[in-house]
Structure 1
Amino acid sequence: MKTLYPRAIEALNAVARQDFVSGADLGPSITGHSIPREETVQHLLALCPEIEPDHVVMHVGGGSGYLTAVLAELAHRVLYVERNPVVAEKARERFFKSGKHNVEVITATVGEGVPADELCDLIICTTFLTDPSVLITSMRDSAKLVCLEGRAGPVPSLAMFQRSGIKLERLRTLGWLDFNRNAEQILIDLGLVTDVVLAQARLEAAGKNERVLDVVRRKQNLEEIDLYRSLAQQRGMIFTDADEVLGSLQPELFRRFSRTFLDLSRMIPVGEADGSLTVVTDDPDAHTDQLERLTPNHKITCLLVTPTDFRRIWSALDLTVKGSRFAAEHGKTLPQNDENRTSDLLGEDRGNKNISPYLVSVYEAILLDAVSEKASDIHIEQYEDRVRIRLRVDGDLHDLPQYQLSTREIRGVINVIKLRAELNIAEHRLPQGGRSRLQLGDTSYDLRIQTQPSLHGENAIIRLLPQTGRAMTIAELGMSPAIGARYQRLLDNPAGLVLVVGPTGSGKSTTLYAGLQTLADDGRRKVITVEDPIEYSIENIQQTRVRSEIGFSFADAMRSFVREDPDVILIGEVRDQETALEAIRASQTGHVVLSTLHCNDAVDSLQRLFDLGVHPNSIAGELLAVIAQRLAKRICKHCRKPAKPDPAILAEVFPDGAPANFRCFAGEGCDKCNGRGTQGRVGIVEYMEVDTDIRNAISSQPPIGELRWRALDAGLVTMRDSALDHVIEGIIPLSELPRILPRERMAPEVRGGRRSHE
């Protein structure tokens, strides 16, 4: 590198690059050319002609303003030129704040020249120009123009031109100028980490043999997709996802290269066409040099994906290669009528655990897909001539079409599932249930396995429960602030019974665990749980699992718990009379008891307790509140827009006509929600707090219809009310109401010819 002249060194020292880093206010609109590294600016100044104190200098492609600010220390006047008005305005604010009053900000596209009131002695252009001569009108005679050339290369060259009369003459190439920033520098420039955090991440990454980027993402709790999309934009790469790539993979490319080479370089070849080789990587700093040497006749196009999607694509290609080998080794040489050999191959004989590694890979790939899609369940189903694999995401099932497995292969996959869950692989006639674990990165998943015989073979259902050591808090549940405050108050009671009710999969456990997490964070009360199974592991909570095989039931646990001095007891589910009576007794002896119950709404829970043989006076005396709930799809916050309500649904919800100010929203569909328009789910609750009037009604045990009207008169918050609040606030779409409300509850409830509270 050429030696810098003294004034340039002073100018660099006088300007703090950090003051001109874009941070979150500009985000991906700023790239390496716009926020050059200090080393790049130093190299640029060394290559350029020396700037005199009386010079007028123009900087085209000013970006964040860092280079312009350094030039302002050297020249009499600097013209900052930027085509993006948002970027230019932010730069203006930085110049003013740092006292650079000799900088004039010009927002312009350079295509037809730059309007300037004074001719320049030097123009430095850090963006690519199609025709450098368009700037000649801004140059005095003999003025120099320094601009980038070699757009096709990863590191452009810097060329110098000079005005001679009405012509612009190219003098020479000054050298190469590297504007690239690595991923770590980009993280700092985006304001996501500090130098201190990055240094700590480097130490941790070295100790655990991890990548620095993975450690930073985990420590800063950064969303994987958002982080990698920003890195792609900053690095000038194309960001894509596995779903875009999986449908057009070319497995023969994967076979062409060494697995070791691909793994070390963090690249996967996924497509080849017209002399171009497309690869994906999860490393923003990946270099294609070696790959270019291996394929000299190809142009390399590198796409960036998240680490999760990288694993999915690798698994899909690996499965294809292994599947072909599996078919070649066993399919063609295997006689169709040799059932004993087939059973040996798939591990179907009793005690045979020699399962093909290919089948293990298929199962692990399905799990990886489920985790990446944030699925709650996996359904593996067999039909007469086909296999169907589906994921339940946000309550809806959708297919995984990339798994084109034969019925013979899926039997082997189900055997892998059984072995992992320690089930009997020789038993195909009876349902079996078990559990296993999955460790993926820092997250552990508890897998609840259920196999079920059917007409055409066994089906398998797997529920995925992430074990993070922490559940949602009450504030994160999505309840209305009023109901959330009431739920919080219930936990502070000295004693009483709180029930969360609803059908299977309605989020009852999540709501209860939110209460437990709040208690765990508080730390002043002892909490004990008995569950079957333990769905979420929570730190600072004593959790116990029911073991029916050795005679340890919910009721047995309750009888022992009351001698352990707890403040709060959670019972996973009230299933029978014995458990219900023990829950009431625990409440009577001075404990807050939380539990779930399977029924349709808050008032139905009372009838369910009556049916279990609990005395009405005991219910009236101990029950504090009932929360009934359903789960509704949450509108994606990234593509939410006002929507026109469905007239049919509106007529059901408002038989007498909708309010004039009624509004609703819907998601248009975007890449964040995979085009669904919804992302995640939120609980819609019916809340019944037991007051004196309801206690008296419970004791007299009236018909369930009369009991509901007593509850409505006492201030029951209906599920319809909660759902409409969420619709109006833009949390859920109006189309969710028919999914969570029975037809008779869509309209305000009628009693004696009048409607209940709207």
Structure 2
Amino acid sequence: MKKLYPRALEALLAVSRHEFVAGTDLAGSITGHSIPREDTVSHILDLMPEVEPDQVVMHVGGGAGYVAAVLSGLAQRVIYVERNDEVAEAARKRFFRLGKHNVDVIPRPIEEALGLDQLCDVVLCTTFLKDRAVVAPYLRDGGLLACLEGSAGPVPSLAMFEKRHGKLERVRTLGWVDFNRSSEQILIDLGIIDEQHLADAKQEAEKQNCRLLDLLRRKLNLEEIDLYKSLGRQRGMAFREGDELLNGLRPELFRRFSRTFLDLSRMIPVAEEQGKMVVATDDPDARTDQLERMTPNQSVECVLVTPTDFRRLWSALDLTVKGRHFVADHARHPESEREGEQGGGALLGDDQSKSNGHVSPYLVSVYEAILLDAVSEKASDIHIEQYEGRVRIRLRVDGDLHDLPQYQLSPREIKGVINVIKLRAELNIAEHRLPQGGRSRLQLANMAYDLRIQTQPSLHGENAIIRLLPQTGRAMTIAELGMSKHIGSRYQRLLDNPAGLVLVVGPTGSGKSTTLYAGLQTLADDGRRKVITVEDPIEYSIDNIQQTRVRTEIGFGFADAMRAFVREDPDVILVGEIRDQETALEAIRASQTGHVVLSTLHCNDAVDSLQRLYDLGVHPNSIAGELLAVIAQRLAKRICTHCRKPATPDPAILAELFPDGPPADFRCFEGKGCDNCNGRGTHGRVAIVEYMEVDSDIRNAISSQPPVGELRWRALDAGLVTMRDSALDHVIEGLIPLSELPRILPRERMAPEVRGGRRGSL
């Protein structure tokens, strides 16, 4: 802190800046000009003429009130002027709480008539004025105005004017005033974190060798876009989304600078227009002075992007630059292109690939960029497909497939990308005629993903499908699944049984594994029971659960694992899937010997699972004796909570759901579309469940092995919770849109089902 005259130093030390940032009220309206740093206020007081005890001082652009509070210790009276009513009211309350009774609050723009009863000796303006003459009527003759000059840049100057004969005359420039705050100071001012927790986070970031903002975002569970938009606004930086910048990227700008310099500076040149270079950064504190010295004939504008978009921009430019080298190399070596077209697997880089498996960095960049896009979109699957003369890359997000049009790859290039995928998954790159399956891992910061990879030959070349499974060490709990409380509590009770078989059924991609893992996570958190699993593959790694992978290549399948598990004193056994008679019989035997067995089946509904077990050769009496419950499910899109609104139901869907007319109080909702859901109106998915608990009536029916239709209505009479019932509950509660029902329910299940010969009431 600079050496101030004694009274100014005393006034500054008497006011704690923390008092003006402790709350999060109106944080978005407070900038560096509204609540300057303590050293900035000290600098302003040092630049200005000394304020006398009998003077009246006005502060224009009062903001949080910190500067006015300091001035109140120097002057007889302080007039605080702030155009934002809510900000001014918050400042008034702070002045009253701190006993600053010589501060008068005027909540209006300086351009309007203030109606002062006394002229001012000094006016300090820490905001930019279009016309400084508007201040003149409030100054006595000989009074001084200290106001900002120049552009609203990072470091404006403070100039002094004197009122002479009714007009303001310039006296001199007092000096530069830096209102900038670091991102750390902004986080404190926004009330996101306090000084102590920030200091602790700094130490942790140093130990983990990661950026402080990345660590804080993870620890405080902050939305990346919201955080960086707020930081950009506070730093006076324009915030841009990656999709806005991707289409207009200029690779020649990227090549103009050293990659090492750009990486260390956290800057990417993205555009050039009218003597100005636009650079993107994910560092709110980035400095452009070095870049400006490298481009003396251009000004530099810095725009803020999220770390995810920064990586996307870097990968896209890196991909483009390497792609041009790749094309140039193959133009010089056309024989390698012919080999690639003929053999597919030879397109790894050059002739050297045959001997040492060298992979073109360009092709690796393509694959990594696709993975990065998938992670940023929270996709569950990536589909890379080849058609005649074109390539299609799609992501599955919330159950729907979306194209990635930015990847305009030739069939020759995509063959190389698929070879990269195969190498990462340790598959045979020379085999193009048979499907292959494997897995690899992806590490992004502290987040790991297990990649399940399948390649499939087709008419025009190989396709690749990649499933992304985040490995957090935890799965969802039963409470987080989105089941109704009634069904969730019954599922929880099933896990407490001493023995029996619980099945979760549905088609591929219906969330069966997620539901089973939720049960496992509940057991892992409880810790009183030993749980063993056998899976193919292990989709989620869960702490405190003993998980085993099937190894068919060495003769270790589901049935082999089950026979071994019963000798290891488990309480609960999870079998990834019952695929054959041997596994089904071993699951039944394990439940008969005092274990709870959880597993999945591929079938359409709860009752259909019984027929599936009959077909696998399991005796009806064994099924009746051991089966505890069947949960059948589908996944429906969840309405975005940020843009949910009441909706008008589709008459065609209503007619199917309620042949006799809908209830008078029926309601439904939909998502309008917002930034949080990328305009889709839905965000995430929720399980729609059919729940059949096996009681004595159903056991008798199972033993007699009646037709499936008869089993269905007996289950309905015994209290089967149908998928239609669950879906309608979710529609009425506003969890899913009505339009999802035809997608998850077959036509014959849309209307109420017959229960014991009578139509149901729902």
Q: 1:731 corresponds to which residue?
A: 735
Letter of the aligned partner of 1:346 in structure 2?
Answer: L
Aligned residue identity for 1:210: C
| Cα pair 2:717 2:755 within 8 Å, conserved | no
Letter in 1 for 2:629: A
Q: Secondary structure at the match of 2:603?
A: coil
Secondary structure of the corresponding residue to residue 129 of structure 1: coil
Residue of structure 2 in register with 1:202 after alignment: 202
What's the counterpart of residue 254 of structure 1?
254
Going from structure 1 to structure 2, the CA distance change for 1:4 and 1:314 (only over 3 Å counts) comes to: same
SS at match of 2:178: coil
Structure 2 counterpart SS, 1:73:
coil
> Given residue 614 of structure 1, which amino acid in structure 2 is its aligned partner?
V
**Residue 617, structure 1, aligned to residue 588, structure 2:** no
Task: Quote the residue 1:346 is aligned against.
Answer: 348
> For residue 432 of structure 2, what is the aligned residue in structure 1?
428
Alignment of 1:700-715 (within 5 A): 700-715=704-719
2:306 is aligned to 306
1:522 paired to 2:535: no
CA distance in 1, matches of 2:303, 2:340: 47
Change (3 A) 1:116 1:733: farther
Residue by residue, what CA displacement relative to the aligned partner does 1:44-76 show, whole Å, maximum 9, x if unpaired? Answer: 222233333443333222222222222333334
Distance, in Å, in 1 between the alignment partners of 2:730 and 2:340 is 59
What residue number does 2:104 align with? 104
1:400 to 397, 404, 409: 404
Aligned match of 1:185:
185
Go from structure 1 to structure 2 and tell me whether the alpha carbon gap of 1:615 and 1:103 turns closer, same or farther (over 3 Å shift). Answer: farther
Residue 654 (structure 1) aligns with: 658
Aligned match of 1:147 = 147
Following superposition, the deviation at residue 754 of structure 1 comes to 4.6
Alignment check: 8 A CA contact 2:713 2:754 kept: no
Post-superposition offset of 1:323: 0.7
Shift of 1:139: 3.0
Please report how far the alpha carbon of residue 99 of structure 1 lies from its aligned counterpart in structure 2 after TM superposition: 3.3
SS in 1 for 2:181: coil
SS in 1 for 2:541: coil
Contact 1:418–1:425, Cα closer than 8 Å, also in 2: yes
- In structure 2, the residue matched to 1:375 is 379
**Runs of 4+ in structure 1 over 6 Å off:** 347-351
Amino acid at match of 1:536: Y
Cα distance in 2, alignment partners of residues 491 and 102 from structure 1? 68
Query: 1: CA distance between counterparts of 2:669 and 2:472?
Result: 33
Residue 103 of structure 1: how far off its partner (Å): 3.2
CA displacement at 1:410 relative to structure 2: 0.8
Q: Which moved further from structure 2: 135-144 or 252-261? A: 135-144
Residue aligning to 2:491? 487
Q: 1:340 Cα deviation (Å)?
A: 7.2
Aligned with residue 463 of structure 2, among 454, 459, 466: 459
Matching residue of 2:673: 669
- Does the alignment pair 1:471 with 2:475? yes
Unpaired runs of 5+ residues, structure 2, are none
Structure-2 change in CA distance of 1:2 and 1:543 (3 Å): closer
Q: Which residue of 1 aligns with 2:547?
A: 543
How far residue 518 of structure 1 moved from its aligned partner, in angstroms, is 1.5
Structure 2 CA distance for partners of 1:645 and 1:111, relative to 1, 3 Å: farther
| Aligned equivalent of 2:631, options 627, 631, 639 | 627
Distance change (3 Å), C-alpha of 1:655 and 1:34: farther
Paired with 1:340 and 1:476, the residues of 2 have a C-alpha distance of 49
The equivalent of 2:320 in structure 1 is 320
Q: CA deviation at 1:87?
A: 2.4
Identity %: 78
Name the counterpart of 1:219: 219
For 2:109 and 2:554, the matched residues in 1 are separated by 78
CA contact (8 A) 2:161 2:168 kept: yes
Query: Can you list the C-alpha shifts for 1:81-123, whole angstroms capped at 9, x where unaligned?
Result: 2222332333333333333343333321333343444433332
Give the aligned partner of residue 65 of structure 1: 65
- Residues 281-300 of structure 1: pairs in structure 2 closer than 5 A: 281-300=281-300
Deviation digits for residues 602-639 of structure 1 (CA, Å, limit 9, x no counterpart): 22222222222222232222222222111111222222
| Structure 1 range deviating more: 323-332 or 667-676 | 667-676
C-alpha distance in structure 2 between counterparts of 1:351 and 1:438, whole Å = 27
Please, which moves more after superposition, 33-42 or 531-540? Answer: 33-42
CA distance in 2, matches of 1:358, 1:665: 46
Against the structure 1 CA distance between its residues 300 and 621, is the aligned structure 2 distance closer, same or farther, given a 3 Å change threshold? same
Whether the 8 Å CA contact 2:714–2:756 is kept in 1: the answer is no
Per mean C-alpha deviation after superposition, the further-off stretch among 122-131 and 80-89 is 80-89
The one-letter code of the counterpart of 1:205 is A
CA distance in 1, matches of 2:493, 2:96: 52
Cα distance 1:729–1:56, how it changes in 2: closer, same or farther (>3 A)? farther
Aligned letter for 1:612? L
The answer to whether the Cα contact below 8 Å between 1:495 and 1:593 also exists between their aligned partners in 2 is yes
| 8 A contact 1:669–1:676 mirrored in 2 | yes
Deviation at 1:571, TM superposition (A): 1.1
Contact kept, 8 Å, 1:634 with 1:733, in 2: the verdict is yes
Q: What SS class does the counterpart of residue 556 from structure 2 fall into?
A: coil
Q: Secondary structure at the match of 2:369?
A: helix
Residues 658, 331 of structure 1: CA spacing in aligned structure 2 closer, same or farther, 3 A cutoff? farther
Q: Which amino acid aligns with 2:644?
A: R
TM-score, with structure 2 as normaliser: 0.95
TM-score (norm 1): 0.95
| Mean Cα deviation higher: 228-237 or 476-485 | 476-485
Q: Could you tell me how far apart the structure 2 residues matched to 1:38 and 1:642 are?
A: 49
Partner of 1:389: 393
Q: Are 2:203 and 1:229 equivalent residues in the alignment?
A: no
1:113–1:137: 8 Å Cα contact kept in structure 2?
Answer: no
How far apart, in 2, do the equivalents of 1:688 and 1:115 lie? 76
Look up the match of 2:128. 128
**Partner SS, residue 72 of structure 2:** helix
Distance 1:305 1:340 in 2: 39
Shift of 1:241: 2.0
Indicate if the aligned counterparts of 1:279 and 1:302 stay in contact, CA closer than 8 A: yes
CA shift, 1:259, in A, is: 1.2
Letter in 2 for 1:156: P
Q: Does 1:90 align with 2:94?
A: no
Correspondence for 2:366: 362
2:748 to 744, 747, 751: 744
What is the distance in 2 between the residues matched to 1:657 and 1:116? 69
- 1:350–1:426 CA contact under 8 A, matched in 2: no
Distance 1:651 1:311, change over 3 A: same
Q: 1:174 and 1:514, CA in 2 relative to 1: closer, same or farther beyond 3 A?
A: same
Report how far residue 503 of structure 1 moved. 0.8
What is the deviation of 1:718?
Answer: 2.0
For the residues of structure 1 that align with 2:177 and 2:710, how far apart are their CA atoms?
82
Rate the CA distance shift 1:82–1:556 in 2: closer, same or farther, 3 A: same
Task: For structure 1, list consecutive stretches of 5 or more residues without a partner in the other structure.
Answer: none
- Residues 345 and 354 of structure 1 are in contact (CA less than 8 Å); yes or no, is this contact kept in structure 2? no
Letter in 2 for 1:662: F
Of 77-86 and 594-603, more deviation after overlay is shown by: 77-86
Residue 506 of structure 1: how far off its partner (Å): 0.9
Give the total of aligned pairs: 758
- The Cα shift of 1:704 comes to 2.1
Q: Which amino acid aligns with 2:709?
A: G
Q: CA deviation at 1:138?
A: 3.0
Asked if the contact 2:452–2:467 (Cα under 8 Å) also holds between the matched residues in 1, the reply is yes
Instruction: Say which of 491, 496, 500 aligns to 2:500.
Output: 496
